[in-house]
């Protein structure tokens, strides 16, 4: 049986390592899901908080939409805020020229 807590921790460290490879550093927030005042799974040195989600077999549609483009823009409602989904391998090229 999969230990959900360990799976989440592995995903958070994996995300943090991926961010470090592109020059963003920070740390994992211990017990972030257990405490209502601790928001986000990662805290970056620039102050940004990051929520990490790992789903085996999940997000299939997102990956499909990203197949031949550099980024994906989505929003829930016509007046909602836009979200941008960017493969981490594309960030440097998109923002650093």
Q: Per-residue pLDDT tens for 37-85?
A: 778 999 999 999 999 999 888 899 999 999 999 999 999 999 999 999 9
**By residue range, what is the domain housing residue 97?**
58-97
Element (H, E) at 9: helix 4-21
- Is the domain of 48 the same as that of 64? no
- The total number of structural domains in the chain stands at 2
- Is the domain of 4 the same as that of 50? yes
Q: How confident is the model at residue 14 (pLDDT cuts 50, 70, 90)?
A: very high
- Is the domain of 8 the same as that of 40? yes
What string of DSSP letters covers the chain? ---HHHHHHHHHHHHHHHHHHTT--EEE-TTTTT-TT--SSEEETTS-EE-----TT-SHHHHHHTTTSS-EEE-SSTTSPPEEE--HHHHHHHHH-
């Amino acid at each position: 049986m999969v230990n959900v807590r360990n799976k989440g921790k592995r995903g958070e460290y994996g995300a943090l390592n991926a961010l470090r490879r592109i020059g963003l550093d920070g740390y994992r927030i211990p017990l972030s899901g257990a405490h209502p005042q601790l928001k986000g799974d990662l805290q970056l040195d620039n102050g940004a908080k990051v929520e990490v989600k790992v789903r085996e077999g999940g997000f299939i549609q997102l990956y499909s939409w990203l197949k031949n483009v550099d980024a994906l823009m989505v929003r829930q409602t016509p007046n909602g805020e836009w979200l941008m989904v960017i493969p981490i391998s594309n960030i440097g090229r998109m923002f650093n020229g």
